[in-house]
Structure 1
Amino acid sequence: MNYDDEAGKRGLAESDPMPPEEWRGFTATARVEAIYTAHGPELMRYFRRRAPAQDVGDLVQECFRRFTQSRGAASSLIERPAAYLVQTARNLLAERIRADGRRMQADHGPFEEQDHAGPDPHAALEARDTIRRLADVVARLKPKTRTIFLMHRIEGLSYEEIAAAQGMSVKGVEKQMAKALGAIRRSRQDGR
């Protein structure tokens, strides 16, 4: 949309800012367009120095949105639109700074050493050594005891299910589990 052509059709030139006393014969839209033509570039320069380039257009648009929705703009427009627009621009930038501060504050959390330190290498080595010792103990168990122990602890089967699968009594499964657990307990005591 070319504003120069439309302004020329209405009898307004880009370089013709109109003071409030001359606005009586024009519609509110023409008045706002005249104010935009007169003060839009000033606001653009103001925001370019103080805000990221990608936000300049949005900030200018927000200034004029607030200007057109103000009570003074609805009745006879504001007598000094430049002052109103500059104050609106300052308020927008202040609001933006406060919002950025709240966002940054919300993004920061307390630093807890245990949360950021990572895994303890000594604890990892001890765990790995314990697992290796337990695997050795389980490997040394008699085949029937080892099978029953693995069915219960690894596969999660109950004593009744193991007894049915192995063709033995539940009491026999309990004795085999007691043997396996006793061997593991003894190896842990020896490892200390």
Structure 2
Amino acid sequence: MTMDTVDPVLAEAETDTHRQLDALFRRQAPALVRFLSRRTGREEAQDLAQEAFLRLTDAAGRKMLQKPEAYLARIARNLLRDRAKSVSGHRERTHAVLEPELHAAYDGDPHLVLEARQLLERHEAAVLKLKPKTREVYLRHRLDGQSYAEIAQALGIGVSAVEKHMMKAIAAVDRSLGRP
């Protein structure tokens, strides 16, 4: 397409959209990074903010956005939710469950027995430090073997709330046991 065939009205609208997005970025980027930093690390917050603006720019190219600030906020919340799900899934897959009956085999090494006891005590202490509802969700899932849906129904909360409690519990236990 040559410059002769470009619709001047379309070109002006595109330029206007770019100006609006640039102004929005200058106004909202610092606040968005602060918002995301409270929920992630600073470096990750900057990456998420960049991704949010990239998605906003893509959406603005496809359609006219009535409230770009609100759309940007929704994108940021969705990115946080997606991140939490992937982190939660990773922790669920890598989190070791302490089951005393499985770890109780005595092989005659008192040092190993002492280490196992200390690990179990640290795990129990971490669980006891959890908020009551988070502790109950964690214990129902880990000890009683209940599914998230069963826990949600028993406690009268949503499955997403159960997921959030489990993420908090797993993170606290991992921190207490010195896991990254």
TM-score by structure 1 length? 0.43
- Kindly indicate whether structure 1 or structure 2 has the higher relative contact order, using CA contacts under 8 Å at least 6 residues apart: 2
